[in-house]
């Protein structure tokens, strides 16, 4: 029994049911355990011993308390604890990470687990219409490492104009010249081809090429080249072009901020980590309006811990504004309505941004080369290749393989500012019988449209709006900290975003006509969505309707604690990330972004963590 269980674990032929339970494929003849597989067992045990231990009894007082161990919070806790005289407490609502989470192909499956907060939008009227209850799902990591454990590991920084625009909005110190060094500070790049002046090799965060690529990825990149797109380093000088993704991974495994920043800090006696603990309120003195500590709940018991210097909120674009509002910092009328005493009237929860995509662009091909879960699992040598050689399809992050950036305002300009991305996923919605449920697609729509492709091969392209005009908001349901906030992304409120999505369809259709795609006999899947049958298939009106039906979040929520200078009525924090009007309190995460950059925002969020940490050190007299 032990050997069989060990084989199942080692072979990693795992999927999740809807409750997040781990189950294994039962109809596979597993190869015998090789020496490399036994080594992997040892690696798993050693890996799980490297995460900082949970602190059962915290101190009464710390120099700094960091709330949230995600893409930014893990960075902040690691960097602040470099100062030996500072005692730092990191509080995380989620559990410890597990080794299997580092298998890149499982990225999508983790969304069904208890390591995902499983947020949803409110019922929508003009988007998310083909999803259950007209609600889009918003996966967010509830685990050490946060969403860097659940995401697709794509490493893109954005364009210089993204950050120069931040500075032009009054955010001194946030221009591209200011932030670029913080991207480099984290990075440990190992790339086959790159713009060497734009990468570093001695940081904590491993960034590499994905070791294995399907023929679909090559066809996608080649087709872009055929229509005139340069093949570029997307993190180099220019961003207009196409290439395979760069990923936060090492040796074919995920490299989360937990692995990169907290593993090396695990032996520091001045860093304490409290897991499975939810911060419910920031304690703020009403007279001085100074943050002096936090309240948190562990195993249904409430605790208080105090701070000598600062509380740093790094919960992300949903949890950070939620915590501020629970603590009396937010829109006055809203807090009054739910009977939370006001401490500071600020537009917390406004300015919600995301990179939404048109999610219904599926392509069928004539070869069995797409990433189908059942086919991967039925070939146990995929597992052996992964464990023995750090290679094979298991190294592909959730089937994401390549991307292309465009500036529709300046077509043909190589130094443009991307407002459209085409993202390649080398599989279909019908990959298996649970993928559509992960995303919340209505079963009747799946059965009517996509089920017929279950035994077919193909891929999906997502035209993604990178500089959205539409902005949403979130607010509290009530004063209960364990009730999820209400989230309205307000997708496509500005119809110019729909124009970008349609332009993405048209560009991809040009790519479909190339020799590279003809070799795959690639054909656009043309069964119309039931909610769009009133429009002629492939008309602009049809694709706009399709975007409203299958509005696909790329999980880049941001902006809800907007950064802006004193006097900006839309801002929550100042350019040093201090909450306006409250001393001893900062927000350091994606929620401070005044405009979402044209990037997959894990890298920018890590940059914010790096820069915010240095700001704290500077403000407390530490040379950086």
Q: Are 232 and 418 in contact (CB under 8 A)?
A: no
Residue with tokens 């306006």: 580
> What DSSP letter does each residue of 453-490 carry, written as one string?
GTTSEEEEEEEEESS-S--BEEE-SSS-TTSPPEEE--
Does the annotation place 143 within a ligand binding site? yes
Joined together, the tokens standing for residue 529 give 């969505």
How many helices (H) does the chain have, and how many strands (E)?
17, 28
Active site residue 134: no
- Phi/psi-derived region of residue 440, left when phi > 0, alpha when psi is between -120 and 50, beta in every other case: left
φ and ψ at residue 473, rounded to 5 degrees: -160, 165
How far is it, in rounded angstroms, from Cα 353 to Cα 317? 9
How far is it, in rounded angstroms, from Cα 307 to Cα 44? 36
Joined together, the tokens standing for residue 156 give 């893109």
* Planar angle of CA 127, 132, 137, nearest 5 degrees: 70
DSSP run (H or E) holding 190: strand 187-190
Active site residue 99: no
Instruction: State how far the alpha carbon of 2 is from the alpha carbons of 13, 15, 25, 387, in Å.
Output: 17, 20, 17, 20
The residue from 99, 199, 556, 580 that is catalytic is 556
Q: Which of 258, 145, 243, 257 is nearest to 191 (CA)?
A: 243
**Cβ-based neighbours of 376, under 8 Å, separated by 6 or more:** 105, 382, 393, 394
Does the annotation place 207 within a ligand binding site? no
Residue ranges of the annotated binding site for FAD are 143, 279
Enumerate the active-site residues.
556, 600
Residue ranges of the annotated binding site are 143, 279
């Amino acid at each position: 029994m032990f050997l069989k269980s060990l084989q199942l674990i080692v072979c990693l032929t795992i999927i999740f049911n809807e409750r997040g339970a781990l189950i294994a494929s039962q109809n596979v003849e597993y190869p015998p355990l090789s020496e490399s597989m036994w080594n992997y067992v040892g690696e798993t045990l050693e890996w799980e011993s490297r995460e900082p231990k949970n602190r059962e009894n915290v101190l009464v007082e710390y120099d700094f308390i960091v709330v949230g161990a995600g893409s930014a919070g893990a960075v902040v806790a690691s960097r602040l604890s470099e100062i030996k005289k500072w005692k730092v407490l990191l509080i995380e609502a989620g559990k410890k990470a597990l080794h299997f989470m580092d298998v890149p192909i499982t990225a999508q499956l983790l969304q069904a687990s208890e390591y995902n907060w499983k947020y949803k939008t409110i019922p929508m009227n003009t988007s998310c219409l083909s999803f259950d209850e007209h609600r889009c799902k918003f996966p967010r990591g509830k685990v050490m490492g946060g969403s860097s454990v659940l995401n697709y590991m794509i490493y893109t920084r954005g364009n210089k104009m993204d950050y120069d625009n931040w500075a032009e909005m009054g955010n001194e110190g946030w221009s591209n010249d200011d932030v670029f060094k913080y991207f480099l500070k984290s990075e440990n790049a190992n790339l086959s081809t790159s713009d060497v002046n734009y990468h570093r090799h001695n940081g904590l965060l491993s960034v590499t090429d994905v070791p294995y690529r399907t023929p679909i990825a090559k066809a996608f990149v080649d087709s872009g080249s055929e229509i005139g797109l340069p093949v570029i380093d997307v993190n180099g000088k220019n961003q207009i072009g196409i290439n395979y993704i760069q990923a936060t991974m090492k040796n074919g495994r995920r490299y989360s901020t937990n692995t990169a920043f907290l593993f090396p800090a695990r032996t520091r006696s001045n860093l304490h980590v409290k897991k499975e603990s939810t911060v419910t309120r920031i304690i703020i003195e009403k007279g001085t309006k100074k943050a002096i500590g936090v309240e948190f709940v562990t195993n249904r018991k409430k605790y208080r811990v105090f701070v000598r210097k600062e509380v740093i909120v790094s919960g992300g674009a949903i949890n950070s504004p939620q915590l501020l509002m629970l603590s009396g910092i937010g829109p006055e009328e809203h807090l009054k309505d739910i009977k939370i005493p006001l401490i500071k009237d600020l537009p917390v929860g406004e300015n919600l941004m995301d990179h939404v995509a048109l999610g219904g662009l599926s392509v069928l091909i004539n070869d069995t080369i797409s990433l189908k879960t059942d086919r991967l699992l039925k070939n146990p040598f995929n597992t052996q290749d992964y464990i023995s050689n750090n290679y094979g399809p298991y190294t592909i992050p959730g089937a994401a393989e390549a991307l292309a950036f465009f500036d529709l305002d300046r077509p043909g300009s190589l130094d443009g500012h991307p407002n459209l991305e085409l993202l390649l996923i080398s599989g279909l919605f019908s990959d298996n019988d649970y993928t559509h449920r992960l995303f919340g697609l209505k079963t009747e729509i799946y059965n009517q449209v996509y089920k017929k492709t279950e035994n077919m091969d193909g891929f999906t392209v997502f035209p993604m709006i990178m500089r959205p005009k539409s902005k949403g908001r979130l607010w509290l349901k009530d004063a209960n900290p364990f009730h999820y906030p209400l989230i309205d992304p307000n997708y496509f409120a500005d119809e110019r975003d729909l124009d970008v999505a349609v332009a993405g369809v048209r560009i991809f259709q040009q790519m479909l006509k190339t020799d590279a795609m003809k070799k795959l006999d690639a054909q656009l899947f043309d069964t119309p969505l039931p909610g769009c049958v009133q429009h002629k298939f492939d008309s602009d009106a049809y694709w706009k309707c399709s975007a409203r039906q299958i509005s696909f979040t790329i999980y880049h929520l941001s902006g809800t604690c907007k950064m802006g200078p004193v006097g900006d009525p839309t801002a929550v924090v100042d350019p040093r990330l201090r909450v306006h009007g409250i001393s001893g309190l900062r927000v350091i995460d994606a929620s401070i972004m005044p405009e979402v950059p044209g990037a997959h925002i894990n890298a920018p969020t890590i940059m914010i963590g790096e820069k915010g940490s240095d700001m704290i050190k500077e403000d407390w007299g530490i040379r950086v």
